[in-house]
Amino acid sequence: MAKQIKTAIQPARDEDYPEWYQQVIKASDLAEKSPVRGCMVIKPWGYAIWENITQTLDAMFKETGVKNAYFPLFIPLSFLEKEAEHVEGFAKECAVVTHHRLEQGENGNLLPAGKLTEPLVIRPTSETIIGDSFSKWIKSYRDLPILINQWANVVRWEMRTRTFLRTSEFLWQEGHTAHATKEEAVSRTKMMLDVYSKFAEDYMAIPVIKGEKSASERFPGAVDTLCIEAMMHDRKALQAGTSHFLGQNFAKASGIRFQSDKEQEEYAWTTSWGVSTRLIGGLIMCHGDDDGIVLPPKIASSQIVLLPIIRKDADRQNIMEYCETLARELKEITFAGRKISVETDDRDIGGARGWEWIKKGIPIRAEIGPRDMAENSVFMARRDRPHREKTSVKRDKFVSDITGILNEIQNNLFNQALSFRKDNTVTIDDKGDFYQFFTPQNKEKPEIHGGFAMSHWCGSEKCEEKIKEDLMVTIRCIPFDNNENEKGKCICCGNDSSKRVVYAKSY
């Protein structure tokens, strides 16, 4: 009888995927639940990932001319009421402040007092309040374009929450731009989606499909919503970034007018675009395994941990000096636009120490004991390979090759994720096959099935809703690389169709 292989995370992915996800977050020391329902505490190891995401994206935004600003957390209720479709889309998720102070009651408890003249909505998104500022800043075509981004937190009062993926409060960036012409705004919408795509693939090692949302899946108030969709290990889709062409809808609602070069008053054309801390959830579900999270080196909290092996007190000083010198050299090396981050862990906790770093997903672990020091080498393990696979590497070669090793790990993670997506993406033209594809064979493990189905859609919202009601499957996007001339039949109603779309279950 074969010996059962134990994993660091219990249950394993194929046993209980939702619980596996929660256990990875706990074991990897990324975050924990807060005393406030639906909110999270992002711990240092997890927040370091977000810092690397923000620093990289911020630089990419600024390369396109975007500048950072900050707008209020509180939005007057009347601002949201100006754009009917927008407020309807967010109404059920809004947290509202109605009072401005507390007073002590008869029983010593605190009671809200000082009712506000107008309720304030805690920022679910900032189109309306930024539109108010734009209306003051923009008077002439010479004031355009305005390219603004803010890094902030938002609140959307979620009923069912899951750490990083869907929480009542989360961190994000939201870009907002205003333009003199429709063409400029559409071009900016596409440009920012390209930025997100490049970041997801080049830095997070997550392959994505770029496309357009169907009308029912658009951002409330938008003319068009573009998105990037990624496949997670349970074969569900994760919307990893969106870019919205808002047309003149919000400009009209907020009064963003300008004098054109033809001396005519016109409304500006606006866009908005954003990504959030759900990217960390995507990172876990795209690269994580049954031993924990696996971090791509380009956005990892740290790239290397040095693990001194000290069995005798007499060896401590020499081994620690060896590690400290090595760490200094490594920290001087630039990788992916910043200096390599190195941890040194000399805790005396036996084998648990190595497992902690495996679970935390650090790309490279390097053990250094008396024998390694005597041979001027390190005993190296990579997180993209089985944990038992370790290699003795000469110290100088380890230093000189480190950027190449990190790049190799980065590329391996991307290629593994891409192969997984390809293996679980199918072209389906038969309705029966389509329904079978999204119906779990094992009812005890319904989360592990399906994938991406490339199927025809006639464009009818009725067909889209029917598929959603029957299977909880939605159109994730209409891919940009779709063959518009490929004729077919709608997977739902059988009517003529000129395009395939990506169908999937999603987060």
The Cα 74–Cα 62 span in angstroms is 26
The answer as to whether 40 is a domain residue is: yes
Note down the domain range covering 450: 425-504
Select from 405, 436, 462 the last residue of a domain: 405
- Residue spans of alpha helices (H) in 39-141: 44-63, 77-81, 84-90, 127-137
User: pLDDT at residue 5 above 60?
Assistant: no
The Cα 356–Cα 42 span in angstroms is 18
Are 439 and 400 within one domain?
Answer: no
Q: Which letter does DSSP use for residue 196 in this model?
A: H
Check which CATH number belongs to the domain holding 351 and give it: 3.40.50.800
Q: Smallest Cα–Cα separation from 431: which of 457, 394, 399, 460?
A: 457
The Cα 73–Cα 90 span in angstroms is 16
Are 498 and 373 within one domain?
Answer: no
User: pLDDT at residue 13 above 70?
Assistant: yes
Radius of gyration of the chain (CA): 26
Rounded to an integer, the average pLDDT of 30-37 is 95
pLDDT of residue 351: 84
- For residue 131, CA distances in Å to 80, 126, 205, 506 come to 11, 8, 35, 31
Check which CATH number belongs to the domain holding 452 and give it: 3.30.110.30
User: pLDDT at residue 86 above 90?
Assistant: no
Cis bond leading into 124, ω under 30°? no
User: Which of residues 152 and 314 earns the better pLDDT score?
Assistant: 152
The answer as to whether 358 is a domain residue is: yes
Using DSSP, state whether 350 is helix, strand or coil: coil
The answer as to whether 411 is a domain residue is: no
Rounded to an integer, the average pLDDT of 152-168 is 94
246 touches 267 (CB < 8 A): no
Instruction: Give the chain's domain count.
Output: 3
The Cα 340–Cα 245 span in angstroms is 38
Check which CATH number belongs to the domain holding 215 and give it: 3.30.930.10
User: Which of residues 321 and 84 earns the better pLDDT score?
Assistant: 321
250-279 pLDDT, tens digit per residue, is: 999 999 999 999 999 999 999 999 999 999
The answer as to whether 342 is a domain residue is: yes
Are 75 and 221 within one domain?
Answer: yes
The answer as to whether 263 is a domain residue is: yes
Are 260 and 330 within one domain?
Answer: no
Are 432 and 389 within one domain?
Answer: no
User: pLDDT at residue 445 above 90?
Assistant: no
| Percentage of residues of the chain with pLDDT beyond 70 | 97
pLDDT of residue 158: 86
Rounded to an integer, the average pLDDT of 372-398 is 96
Written as six digits, the tokens of 18 are 């939702």
pTM over 0.75: yes
Question: Going by C-beta distance under 8 Å and a sequence separation of 6 or more, which residues neighbour residue 130?
Answer: 71, 148, 176
Are 25 and 131 within one domain?
Answer: yes
User: pLDDT at residue 444 above 80?
Assistant: no
Are 270 and 352 within one domain?
Answer: no
The answer as to whether 420 is a domain residue is: no
pLDDT of residue 473: 97
pLDDT of residue 89: 84
333 touches 85 (CB < 8 A): no
Cα torsion 343, 347, 353, 356: sign: negative
281-324 pLDDT, tens digit per residue, is: 999 999 999 999 999 999 999 999 999 999 998 899 999 999 99
Question: pLDDT class for 35, splitting at 50, 70, 90?
Answer: very high
Using DSSP, state whether 210 is helix, strand or coil: strand
| Percentage of residues of the chain with pLDDT beyond 90 | 89
Q: Smallest Cα–Cα separation from 220: which of 354, 325, 82?
A: 82
The Cα 143–Cα 436 span in angstroms is 55
The answer as to whether 2 is a domain residue is: no
User: pLDDT at residue 483 above 70?
Assistant: no
User: pLDDT at residue 78 above 80?
Assistant: yes
187-240 pLDDT, tens digit per residue, is: 999 999 999 999 999 999 999 999 999 999 999 999 999 999 999 999 999 999
pLDDT of residue 2: 43
Are 53 and 24 within one domain?
Answer: yes
pLDDT of residue 471: 96
Select from 377, 405, 433 the last residue of a domain: 405
The answer as to whether 7 is a domain residue is: no
pLDDT of residue 106: 87
Strands (E), 205-251: 209-212, 224-231, 237-247
Supply the mean pLDDT for the chain.
95
- For residue 306, CA distances in Å to 41, 291, 328, 417 come to 28, 19, 12, 28
Burial 478-487 (b: 16+ CB within 10 A, else e): bbeebeeeee
Reported as half-sphere exposure (CB side, CA atoms, 13 A), residue 280 has a value of 33
DSSP symbols for 308-349: E---SHHHHHHHHHHHHHHHHHHHTSEETTEEPPEEE-----
On the 0-12 / 13-18 / 19+ scale of CB atoms within 10 A, 86 is buried
Question: pLDDT class for 393, splitting at 50, 70, 90?
Answer: very high
Are 187 and 59 within one domain?
Answer: yes
Are 311 and 282 within one domain?
Answer: no
50 touches 41 (CB < 8 A): no
Burial 201-228 (b: 16+ CB within 10 A, else e): bbbbbbbbbbbbbbeebbbbbbbbbbbb
pLDDT of residue 176: 98
Select from 361, 376, 405 the last residue of a domain: 405
Are 485 and 447 within one domain?
Answer: yes
Are 330 and 252 within one domain?
Answer: no
